Amino acid sequence: MRALRLLAAPLAVFALTVSASAFAHDPSEKVTILQDEVLKNVPGKKALMIEVDYKPGQSSIAHKHEGTAMAYVLSGSIVSQVKGEQPKTYKAGEYWYEPAGSEHLVSKNASATKPAKLLVFMVLSPDEKVLIPLEN
């Protein structure tokens, strides 16, 4: 019984530490779909407008898009790297293009202290996935 009491306190402290660190930060960015429209002049395609909010130091998982993507930095700065290219930091007002199927290896807030916001415009088929995680 005494041994159980001796272990109880350290286990309680450990449990509180682990659960506090699990909620200390969000592991992924906030994604908001602003617009999702079928393109009447392009049969079988739709357009998506997405806002991506990154907290300081936050990043996306490595992924690819089945559709074409164009990104515009609304605020802060974003580090982006597509497979076969070097990472590049984009500041507010700058933009880039990703052809359908591109592997987006890095997409993250360049700042550890300030948030960043990205506007993404995509064209894809209604049955295509917006984001497909890459396997290591």
Residue 10 has pLDDT above 70, yes or no: no
Residue 116 clears pLDDT 90, i.e. is over it:
yes
Beta strand pairing status for 63-64 and 46-54?
unpaired
Q: In what order do the strands lie in the sheet with 68-75?
A: 30-38, 46-54, 116-124, 68-75, 95-98
- What is the reported pLDDT for 132? 86
Residue 93: what pLDDT?
98
Quick one: tokens of 31?
């994604």
In sequence order, which residues have a C-beta less than 8 Å from that of residue 125 and are 6 or more positions away? 44, 45, 46, 66, 67
Q: What is the DSSP string of 33-71?
A: EEEEEE-TTSTT-EEEEEEEEE-TT-BPPSEE-SSEEEE
- 23 has pLDDT over 60: no
CA angle at 70 for the pair 129 and 132, rounded to the nearest 5°: 25
Convert the pLDDT of each residue in 34-69 to its tens digit.
999 999 999 999 999 999 999 999 999 999 989 999
pLDDT one-digit tens code per residue, 124-136? 999 988 888 888 6
